[in-house]
Amino acid sequence: MSALLVSPLPLAGLMAVERAKRGDARGFLARLFCAETLHAAGWTKPIAAINHTYSALKGTLRGMHFQHPPHAEMKLVTCIRGEIRDVALDLRAGSPSFKRWHAETLSAENGRAMLIPEGFAHGFQALTDDVEILYCHSASYAPEAEGAVNAFDPAFGITWPLPVSVMSDRDKGHAMIDDSFRGIVL
């Protein structure tokens, strides 16, 4: 069996990634990234950055973030402690799933990750206290390319399972889209 199993999710290009854990009396080993396996799923660039986030409180909400071209990025999101509801929102201009979202429960226990294509916004809500996430990015952070949409914008209708306990002022302040929003042209 492969160390990573990649399977499509309902939005084009969005993938679930399952890790096989191999364990013995010492503990376990689980592969987080395999260039060969993920290349077949669309990850064709080197890893440009790996970020680690910690959210102390259940209900913490982060998102919905993306980067504009030419710094658009793929993300591989893995929960290494606790549990999250991970949300990917398709903002690709001309996509058949434009403005649609998909959520997966990722946890240290279930070993699932989500591979998010360029042109998607990403966010998550902590379902437990003490959540840690690792993100592999296909592009470096570029402040001038930073983009975000409001996690509560009715144009998207994203449902969050818990009341929000903590959210940055910056994320709260992201604008709602209007009728002129045509998406991200990749």
Side-by-side strand order, sheet with 112-116: 4-8, 15-19, 112-116, 75-81, 131-137, 49-55
DSSP 142-170: -GGGEEE--TT-TTT----SS--S---HH
The CA angle 25-27-30, to the nearest 5 degrees, is 135
- Residues involved in catalysis: 65, 135
Distance CA(150)–CA(154), nearest Å, equals: 9
Please provide residue 128's backbone torsions phi and psi, each rounded to the nearest 5 degrees: -135, 165
In total, the chain counts a number of residues equal to: 186
Distance CA(92)–CA(103), nearest Å, equals: 17
